[in-house]
């Protein structure tokens, strides 16, 4: 079956059974939330969420390459005044299924507005849970480096004795550091908290994530030409992100309406692609010109 650069209509579990083993480089997805959006695209009872998800995760495990990564955007909902445990149970069950639970990223939603609830504050973050098939997976950390920031000027100006040697974590986390390694650098590696605004209004989908979210993970875990799968593709955000970054995509959604929206968005993106490429090229040229003139100074 030809599954490259396609959006499929159907249940992802069924569609994925037609894909070959070890064929996908990155799975990035946000599945339907437990019961939350019953009016828009159905919901799964929180008590049944793990049983619903596991057979799909089995297919994800089969189609993912050993060097690939699965990133799951999810957040447990509140049921009867407490956080439901289905996400935690899912992680435990997926480990039994053969997944390696490598990391958890936090997406901090930068643009949230205030609210008042009797027993909790506004929910301002979501989980991005990283699973792998093995401990050795592809990761291109340099692709997501960030500017060092102002803290560095002050912090690096006064290096203590400890800062000049490797300082092992005092709580035994294994995260040692040598601050002096970062002297004179413009870019550093980010941490596992991603600060990104939600898309306040997406006419395409009530639960779309901002395109910069899949883009960040696509850059981190794939290279141009690699295949990115979103088995709950909704309005096609992951597929559009993949195209804009010159990766291949495969998307699946159970809703005919969303499949149509995805295909339309992809069509529009492909038309815009030469403009995007031109913009990126001019940005890169400007950047290299800038760094050249900085080097000359």
Ligand X SMILES: C[S@@+](CC[C@H](N)C(=O)[O-])C[C@H]1O[C@@H](n2cnc3c(N)ncnc32)[C@H](O)[C@@H]1O
Q: Report the interface residues with ligand X, using CB under 6 A.
A: 11-12, 30-32, 41, 205, 207-209, 231-232, 234-235, 237, 252-255, 258
State the minimum distance, in angstroms, from the CB of residue 35 to ligand X. 13
What strand order describes the sheet that includes 6-9? 6-9, 248-253, 227-230, 24-29, 64-74, 125-132, 100-109, 193-196
Nearer to ligand X among residue 227 and residue 229 (C-beta)? 229
- Alpha-carbon distance of 38 to 141, in angstroms, equals 38
State the minimum distance, in angstroms, from the CB of residue 44 to ligand X. 8
Nearer to ligand X among residue 11 and residue 123 (C-beta)? 11
State the minimum distance, in angstroms, from the CB of residue 262 to ligand X. 8
Nearer to ligand X among residue 49 and residue 131 (C-beta)? 49
Measured from each CB, the residue nearest to ligand X is 234
State the minimum distance, in angstroms, from the CB of residue 32 to ligand X. 4
State the minimum distance, in angstroms, from the CB of residue 160 to ligand X. 45
Nearer to ligand X among residue 132 and residue 235 (C-beta)? 235
State the minimum distance, in angstroms, from the CB of residue 226 to ligand X. 19
Nearer to ligand X among residue 67 and residue 269 (C-beta)? 269
Nearer to ligand X among residue 93 and residue 163 (C-beta)? 93
CA distances to 4, 60, 143, 192, 260 from 146, in Å: 32, 31, 9, 12, 36
State the minimum distance, in angstroms, from the CB of residue 126 to ligand X. 11
Under 8 Å between Cβ of 1 and 18: yes
Nearer to ligand X among residue 49 and residue 137 (C-beta)? 49
């Amino acid at each position: 079956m030809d599954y490259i650069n396609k959006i499929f209509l159907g249940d992802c579990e069924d569609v994925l059974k037609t894909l070959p083993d070890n064929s996908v480089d990155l799975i990035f997805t946000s599945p339907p939330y437990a019961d939350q959006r019953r009016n828009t695209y159905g919901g799964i009872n929180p008590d049944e969420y793990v049983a619903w998800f596991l057979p799909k995760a089995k297919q994800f495990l089969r189609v993912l390459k050993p060097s690939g990564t699965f990133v799951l955007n999810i957040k447990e909902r509140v049921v009867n005044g407490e956080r439901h445990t289905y996400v935690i149970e899912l992680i435990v069950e997926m480990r039994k299924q053969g997944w390696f639970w490598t990391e958890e990223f936090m997406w901090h939603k930068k643009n949230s507005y205030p609210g008042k609830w009797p027993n909790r504050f506004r929910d301002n973050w979501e989980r991005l849970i990283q699973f792998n098939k093995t401990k050795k997976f592809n990761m291109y950390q340099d692709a997501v480096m960030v500017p060092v920031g102002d803290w560095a000027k002050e912090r690096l100006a006064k290096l203590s004795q400890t800062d000049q040697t490797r300082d092992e974590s005092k709580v035994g986390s294994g995260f040692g550091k040598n601050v002096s390694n970062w002297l004179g650098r413009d870019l550093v590696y980010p941490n596992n908290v991603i600060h990104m605004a939600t898309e306040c209004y997406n006419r395409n989908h009530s639960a779309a994530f901002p395109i910069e979210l899949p883009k960040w993970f696509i850059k981190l875990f794939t290279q141009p030409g690699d295949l990115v799968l979103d088995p709950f593709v909704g309005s096609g955000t992951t597929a559009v992100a993949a195209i804009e970054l010159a990766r291949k995509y495969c998307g699946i959604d159970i809703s005919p309406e969303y499949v149509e929206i995805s295909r339309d968005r992809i069509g529009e993106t492909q038309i815009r692609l030469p403009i995007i490429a031109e913009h990126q090229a001019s940005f890169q040229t400007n950047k290299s010109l800038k760094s050249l003139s900085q080097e000359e100074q």
